[in-house]
């Protein structure tokens, strides 16, 4: 949790007074803060530069070197200060982090050195503030690339497939990333080749070839070798159709695929051929058919699958659409104005080309774009004057769209880069927040398991030593909340299992209504950590089904609890748990909602702590059956 | 030329909002608040000079501008209860702390409330709690107000509790509270009823002493 809130913790705890009149149970005892409560100034000597700071400042981040007991390793008894043999310039930034909560990256420092310092002081670089994060990231990336360790670009394409992917998924992956398998690469190049062949054939078939014998007219090659061209076209179309159908089959979302630009291009590329096959050789229709053949040129757009540059260009134009549209509009305005003016200026001249305003459009466009074909030329003086104004303003207008598109392109490009970075950062941040939350939950549950709130008696003192006083107090606060509401915190796993078994419990125990009633409506079900014989005796007799589930989750918790507890006395804590477990087993046996369950109920109350060990042997023989039944 | 004008206007339109935003941010940070002198606060509250110094250093670090608004308060309080949603309760708590009801907690409010909660007499603490429960400050705690408060507290527990929260848990809790506190059974709890009932309950009296050494 953000350690900045450590200052507010006393305040939140004081506000807990507001829960007291509502509390169903008595509040637990607060942890005793054995350390001296006076704040003191610490001296930190970094290679001769003496820094001074309050102890509280450093305690804000207890999981760093300076905030934890790790700094005691660097304490110099003679001079009564903490001595670090590190760079004092970097330390300044580290200390500022403690003071302000924001880590800044000094731009003149080497990124590698900075990372090493952070690693030494136990600070995760992800908390660099937004103001410096981009720079930090950029520099880091640069550095990595320079050291030829750039695996980011490779990662996306080369991540291995999940082991159990269907043929369909594999096929889709092959289509999207041709570099993943040889077959895909071969297919990629084959289609590329055929696109090129098809386009070239379209072009070449219009070139005039030598005429047939006995004819004077030059024939286009297409008509001379019509069969050859037809065969080539057929082959290309077959390949394209096959590719399209395969993509359609492999696509995870067929509707989305069919609406995408690339698939539309594919369809447009192959449709004319099929329409041509279907349509009869009719004279009037074939005129329209010829127009259709124009669409064959769209096959060239299929190259955009093979070329990243085309895709970026296409995207840029798409995103600049509004700017381009506006420019087109203003151009149209200018054309109309000048065409009107030229028309009326040239109206009088005999044999003029400016026959109408639309006819003048052509002159205006040609002049404004500085083409100047010369097919339409003004003759009157007024026409010439306006014509020159037109060409001068045309120069201005043409100069405008280019920087707009260029700036748009660079903006989009950088935006894409930044968006990707931010997305990655956001994911990391969210993951860290989730992890921190889970960590706090787990820490609290772990704390309860370890019997943390039994006061500072000697057995538990050792395993609790590694927790800071902040954690103690925070756990005490959460415990107070539990007592106020008379409900306990659990984690998702336990909760969902409980929900499942409660619903099952209703079903199986319908015959023995008494025990099920008792089981479900028990308000206080002693959990593993709070296993005291006295409490067990006081609690309502039959332990609810929930405790059975605790058996299953016991194993889960044990495995997850291992790496969490930093204390070296794992054996100690496990010893505590072991006792609890066995008592849990005995309790669980009783709560099986079968008729015999009622009788052992009476025997439950007098089970004190020590004879629990004796009961172990009996319990263990039952455990397997219990576990089997409860796992249902 | 139309194009020229058009692009120029587009540019300025884009530039202006960002400039306004920076100005706004500057304005907000200028509004500052400095607390009364150390001696005055020492006289008004039950804290020693050193304790006030420690408190102020922490407070100033978190809020350099000297006051906490409700949003920040909710965020801070929510961090202590990651399991559930602490925003509703934080809202009630904020209103209880904000004695001048002007939407921000200054250091004086903060310290006064802490002084009551940690160093005050039992009656003062109970009075503070009554003000917390009395959402509309009319001198009576009604069942609706109590239900709101209890719901806010249960919200902080989150979803994953043991035993699982049932639909009538809230109602039962509120009814139990009213059974204990509402002496004349008129449906509302007054300050005197509240203080009297709490003083009769040993658990509450004992628990009130627990929080003395928080600072």
For residue range B161-181, list pLDDT tens digits in order.
878 788 888 888 888 888 888
Beta carbons of A334 and B2 less than 8 Å apart: yes
Inter-chain residue contact A26 with B54, CB threshold 8 Å:
no
Q: What is the pLDDT of residue A121?
A: 84
User: Touching check for A491 and chain B: CB below 8 Å?
Assistant: yes
β-strand pairing of A81-84 with A41-46:
parallel
A334 and A393 in contact (C-beta within 8 Å)?
A: yes
B113 touches chain A (CB under 8 A): yes
Give the residue with greater pLDDT, B16 vs A188.
A188
The answer to whether the CB atoms of B81 and A527 lie below 8 A apart is no
Cβ neighbours, 10 Å, residue B34:
8
Give the residue, A284 or B92, on which the prediction is more confident: B92
**pLDDT (0 to 100) of residue A624:** 40
Q: DSSP class of residue B164?
A: P
- The DSSP bridge partners found for residue A219 are A209
* pTM of the predicted model as reported, rounded to 2 decimal places: 0.45
Phi-psi label, residue A377: left if phi above 0, alpha if psi -120 to 50, beta otherwise? beta
- Contact present, A593 and A512 (Cβ < 8 Å): yes
> At what angle are helices B143-157 and B122-133 packed, to 10 degrees?
90
Note the Cα A88 to chain centre separation in Å: 37
- Stretch 124-183 of chain B: residues touching chain A, C-beta under 8 Å: 125-126, 128-129, 132-133, 149-150, 153-154, 156-165, 169, 173, 176-177, 181
Is B28 in CB contact (< 8 Å) with chain A? no
**Does the beta-carbon distance from A334 to B133 stay under 8 Å?**
no
Distance CA A522, CA B163 (A): 9
Quick count: other Cβ atoms within 10 Å of Cβ B131?
A: 16
- Between chain A and chain B, how many beta carbons pairs sit less than 8 Å apart? 183
User: Which residue from A330, A364, A328 is spatially nearest to A345, judged by alpha carbons?
Assistant: A364
- What value, to the nearest 5°, has the Cα angle with vertex A366 and ends A361 and A372? 140
CB B1 to CB A393 under 8 A? Answer: yes
Nearest CB to A17 within list B161, B203, B208:
B208
Tell me how far CA of residue A542 lies from CA of A546, A600, B28, in angstroms: 11, 9, 61
Contact with chain B for residue A333, Cβ under 8 A: yes
Which among B125, B161, B169 is the nearest to A488, CB-wise?
B161
Cβ distance of A481 and B210 shorter than 8 Å: no
Mutate to test the interface with B, among A5, A9, A14 (most CBs of B within 10 A): A14
Phi, psi of B103 (to 5 degrees): 85, 5
pLDDT digits (tens, 9 = 90+) for B115-130: 988 888 889 999 999 9
Residue A271 and residue A229 in contact, taking contact as beta carbons nearer than 8 Å: no
Instruction: Provide the token pair at B76.
Output: 């801070």
| Mean pLDDT, chain A cut into blocks of 10 residues (632 residues total) | 66 85 83 68 92 88 81 81 88 91 88 86 84 85 60 43 72 79 87 90 84 70 81 90 90 86 86 79 65 79 78 78 82 93 90 90 93 92 94 85 78 66 76 81 75 49 60 85 83 76 53 39 41 40 38 37 38 37 36 38 39 39 38 35
> By C-alpha distance, which of A304, A309, A305 is closest to A184?
A305
Please tell me the distance from the alpha carbon of residue A376 to that of residue A534, in angstroms, as a whole number.
Answer: 109
The two three-digit tokens of residue A507, written as one number: 């079903």
Name every chain B residue with its beta carbon within 8 A of the beta carbon of A10. Answer: 114, 214-215
Q: How far is CA B188 from CA A484, B125, B183, in A?
A: 21, 20, 9
The residue in chain A having the minimum alpha-carbon distance to the alpha carbon of residue B181 is A21
B 56-95 residues inside an 8 A Cβ radius of A: 57-59, 61-62, 76-77, 79-83, 93
Nearest C-alpha neighbor of A463 from the set A532, A529, A536: A529
Asked whether the beta carbons of residue B211 and residue A14 sit closer than 8 angstroms, the reply is: yes
Residues of chain A contacting residue B61, judged by C-beta atoms under 8 Å apart: 4, 7, 99
How many residues make up chain B in this entry? Answer: 215
Q: Which residues of A touch B158 (CB under 8 A)?
A: 489
Comparing CB atoms, the residue among B162, B204, B207 nearest residue A498 is: B162
Place of tokens 């004086």: B108
- The DSSP code for A32 is P
What pLDDT shows up at residue B215? Answer: 67
Give the Cα separation of B87 and B92 in Å (integer). 9
Contact between residue A237 and residue A273 where contact means Cβ atoms under 8 Å apart: yes
ipTM score here? 0.76
| Chain B residues within 8 A of A1 when measuring between CB atoms | 79-80, 82
Q: Rounded distance, CA A365 to CA A344, Å?
A: 17
CB distance from B207 to chain A under 8 Å? Answer: yes
Task: Classify residue A200 as exposed, middle or buried by CB count within 10 Å of its CB (0-12, 13-18, 19+).
Answer: exposed
Compute the distance between CA of residue A249 and CA of residue A247 in angstroms, rounded to an integer.
5
Measured at the CA of B67, the angle between CA B64 and CA B72, to 5 degrees, comes to: 90
How much is the pLDDT for A570?
A: 39
Class of residue A485 by CB neighbours under 10 A (exposed 0-12, middle 13-18, buried 19+): buried
Instruction: Give percent above pLDDT 90 in chain B.
Output: 4
Token match 């500052």: residue?
Answer: B32
């Amino acid at each position: 949790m953000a350690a900045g809130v450590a200052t507010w913790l006393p305040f939140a705890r004081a506000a807990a007074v507001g829960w007291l009149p509502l509390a169903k149970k008595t509040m637990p005892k607060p942890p005793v803060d054995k350390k001296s409560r006076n704040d003191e100034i610490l001296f930190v000597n970094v290679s001769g530069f003496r820094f001074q700071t309050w102890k509280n400042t450093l305690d804000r981040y207890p999981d760093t070197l300076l905030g934890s007991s790790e700094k005691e390793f660097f304490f110099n008894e003679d001079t009564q200060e903490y001595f670090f043999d590190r760079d004092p310039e970097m330390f300044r930034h580290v200390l500022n982090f403690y003071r302000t909560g924001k880590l800044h990256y000094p731009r003149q420092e080497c990124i590698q050195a900075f990372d090493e310092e952070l690693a030494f002081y136990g600070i995760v670089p992800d908390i660099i503030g937004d103001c410096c994060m981009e720079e930090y990231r950029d520099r880091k990336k640069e550095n990595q690339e320079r050291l030829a360790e750039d695996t980011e670009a490779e990662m996306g394409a080369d991540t291995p497939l999940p082991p159990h992917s269907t043929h369909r998924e594999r096929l889709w992956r092959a289509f999207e990333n041709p570099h993943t398998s040889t077959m895909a690469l071969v297919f990629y190049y084959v289609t590329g080749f055929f696109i090129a062949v098809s386009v070239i054939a379209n072009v070449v078939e219009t070139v005039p070839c030598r005429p047939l014998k006995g004819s004077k007219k030059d024939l286009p090659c297409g008509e001379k070798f019509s069969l050859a061209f037809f065969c080539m076209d057929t082959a290309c179309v077959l390949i394209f159709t096959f590719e399209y159908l395969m993509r359609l089959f492999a696509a995870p979302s067929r509707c989305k695929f069919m609406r995408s630009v690339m698939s539309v291009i594919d369809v447009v590329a192959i449709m004319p051929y099929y329409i041509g096959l279907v349509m009869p050789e009719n004279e009037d229709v074939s005129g329209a058919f010829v127009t259709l053949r124009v669409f064959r040129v769209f096959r060239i757009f299929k190259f955009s699958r093979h070329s990243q540059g085309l895709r970026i260009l296409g995207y840029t134009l798409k995103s600049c659409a509004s700017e381009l549209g506006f420019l087109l509009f203003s151009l149209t305005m200018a054309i109309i104005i000048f065409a009107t003016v030229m028309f009326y200026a040239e109206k009088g001249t005999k044999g003029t080309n400016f026959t109408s305003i639309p006819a003048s459009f052509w002159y205006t466009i040609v002049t404004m774009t500085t083409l100047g074909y010369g097919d339409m030329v003004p003759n009157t003086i007024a026409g010439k004057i306006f014509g020159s104004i037109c060409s001068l303003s045309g120069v201005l207008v043409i100069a405008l769209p280019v920087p707009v598109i260029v700036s748009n392109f660079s903006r989009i490009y950088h935006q894409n880069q930044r968006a990707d970075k931010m997305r990655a950062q956001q994911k990391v941040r969210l993951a860290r927040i989730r992890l921190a939350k889970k960590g706090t939950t787990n820490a609290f549950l772990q704390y309860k398991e370890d019997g943390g709130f039994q006061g500072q008696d000697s057995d538990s003192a050792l395993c609790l030593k590694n927790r800071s006083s902040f954690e103690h107090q925070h756990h005490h606060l959460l415990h107070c909340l539990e007592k106020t509401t008379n409900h306990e915190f659990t984690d998702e796993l336990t909760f969902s299992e409980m929900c499942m078994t409660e619903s099952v419990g209703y079903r199986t125990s319908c015959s023995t209504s008494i025990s099920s009633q008792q089981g479900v409506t028990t308000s206080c079900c002693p959990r593993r950590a709070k296993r005291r014989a006295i409490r067990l005796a006081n609690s309502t007799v039959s332990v609810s089904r929930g405790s059975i589930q605790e058996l299953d989750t016991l194993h889960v918790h044990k495995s997850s609890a291992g790496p969490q507890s930093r204390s070296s006395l794992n054996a100690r804590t496990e010893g505590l748990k072991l006792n609890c477990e066995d008592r849990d087993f005995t309790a669980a046996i009783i709560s099986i909602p079968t008729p015999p369950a009622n009788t052992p109920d009476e025997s439950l109350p007098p089970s004190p702590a020590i004879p629990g060990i004796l009961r172990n042997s009996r319990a263990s023989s039952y455990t397997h059956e219990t576990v089997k039944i409860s796992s249902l | 030329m139309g194009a020229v004008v058009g692009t120029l206007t587009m540019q300025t339109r884009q530039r202006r909002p960002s400039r306004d935003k920076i100005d706004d941010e500057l304005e907000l940070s200028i509004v500052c608040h400095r607390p009364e002198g150390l001696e005055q606060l020492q006289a008004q509250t039950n804290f020693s000079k050193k304790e006030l110094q420690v408190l102020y250093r922490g407070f100033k670090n978190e809020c350099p501008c000297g006051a906490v608004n409700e949003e920040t308060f909710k965020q801070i309080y929510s961090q202590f209860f990651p399991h559930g949603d602490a925003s509703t309760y934080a809202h009630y708590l904020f209103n209880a702390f904000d004695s001048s009801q002007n939407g921000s907690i200054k250091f004086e409010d903060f310290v006064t409330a802490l002084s009551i909660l940690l160093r005050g007499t039992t009656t003062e603490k109970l009075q503070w709690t009554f003000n917390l429960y009395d959402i509309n400050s009319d001198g009576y705690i009604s069942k609706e107000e109590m239900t709101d408060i209890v719901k806010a507290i249960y919200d902080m527990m989150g979803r994953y509790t043991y035993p699982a929260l049932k639909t009538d848990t809230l109602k039962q809790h509120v009814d139990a509270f009213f059974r204990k506190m509402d002496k004349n059974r008129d449906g509302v709890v007054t300050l005197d009823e509240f203080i009297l009932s709490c003083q009769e309950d040993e658990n509450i009296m004992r628990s009130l002493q627990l929080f003395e050494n928080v600072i």
